[in-house]
Amino acid sequence: MDGANVKCSCEKCQLKTLFFNHVSIDELTDICQIKEERTYAKGDTIIHEGDIINEFLYLKEGLVKLLKTTTTGKDQIISFSKPFDFVSLLSVFSSERYRYSVSAVDNSVVCILDLRVVKNHARQNALFTMDLMSRISEATDKIVIENLEIKRKYLKGRVAHVLLYFANYIYEKDEFELPVSRREIADYIGMTTENVIRALSTFRKDKIIKIYGKEIVIADKSRLENISEFG
């Protein structure tokens, strides 16, 4: 039964690894056959806060944001997630409905499984469930720690932190095309758009970064790190 490998052909898929480690090949074929891929354009909403959860999904390609909209209509961005961070997992096993929204920050491809099928496997396979659990914990730990980091900084430190976050964690490069607007950065770090722009301008004037529209080049990384740590 090598067909499973063919159906789940995505090379680096961590979910596949997760299943392979603990689920028999026959079961896997099941899961792969019901797997569905969906494509979202930059800006599309993938999950609506409040919707009933009946799918299990994870990001295969692209970049998404997890967010919540306040009663006054402002967005608060909880985290950004790149492929194989199991973004949708957060409330999947604790709530009937999504507590957050997820939308595509960049063109994205999402893989989708029927949640009932995944839960079925979870019920029957404790090791699989434990693995899932540790991934959920890891993902939420990351969110909590990242949030604390941002919280303890002032405006410039927060903006520097976000730039380093994209450079080190998302793109692993010191030159990249910012996938988010200034307003999204503001929604993430809890400051206003104007002040995010001002901070970026200051960094540019101080020759710490170069800005060509959406493209950012980190010119003096150690100084940026210093601002992130102490600014």
Partner DNA sequence: AGATCAATATGATAATTATCACACCCTAAT
Partner DNA sequence: ATTAGGGTGTGATAATTATCATATTGATCT
141, interface contact from DNA, a copy of itself, none, CB < 5-8 Å by kind:
a copy of itself
Binding site for a copy of itself (CB under 8 A): 68, 70-71, 74, 76, 78, 90-95, 99, 119, 122-130, 132-138, 140-141, 143-145, 147-148, 151-152, 190, 229
Tell me how far the alpha carbon of residue 8 is from its chain's centroid: 22
The 3-state DSSP class for residue 58 equals strand
Q: Minimum CB separation from DNA for residue 15, in Å?
A: 32
- 190, 206, 217, 230: which one contacts DNA (CB under 7 A)? 190
Q: Which residues contact 134 (CB under 8 A, 6 or more apart)?
A: none
Is residue 147 a contact point for DNA (CB under 7 A)?
no
State yes or no: residue 229 binds DNA (CB under 7 A). Answer: no
* Greatest Cα-to-Cα distance within the chain, rounded to the nearest angstrom: 61
224 φ/ψ angles, rounded to the nearest 5 degrees? -65, -40
Interacting residues of 50 by C-beta distance below 8 A, sequence separation 6+ = 97, 98
CB atoms within 10 A of CB 47: 21
Q: What is the distance between the alpha carbons of residues 136 and 140, in angstroms, rounded to a whole number?
A: 6
195 binds DNA (CB under 7 A): yes
What end-to-end distance do the CA atoms of the chain give, in Å?
57
Residue 182, contacted partner among DNA, a copy of itself, none, CB below 5-8 A by kind: DNA
Which H/E stretch holds residue 108? strand 101-114
| Binding flag, residue 32, DNA (CB under 7 A) | no
- Told to check if 201 binds DNA by CB under 7 A, we report yes
Enumerate residues 203-222 that contact DNA by CB under 7 A.
211, 213-214
Residue 120 near DNA by CB under 7 A: no
Q: Is 73 in the site for DNA (CB under 7 A)?
A: no
Q: Are 97 and 64 in contact (CB under 8 A)?
A: no
User: How far apart are CB 101 and a copy of itself at their closest, in Å?
Assistant: 12
Binding site for DNA (CB under 7 A): 154-156, 181-183, 190-195, 197-198, 200-201, 211, 213-214
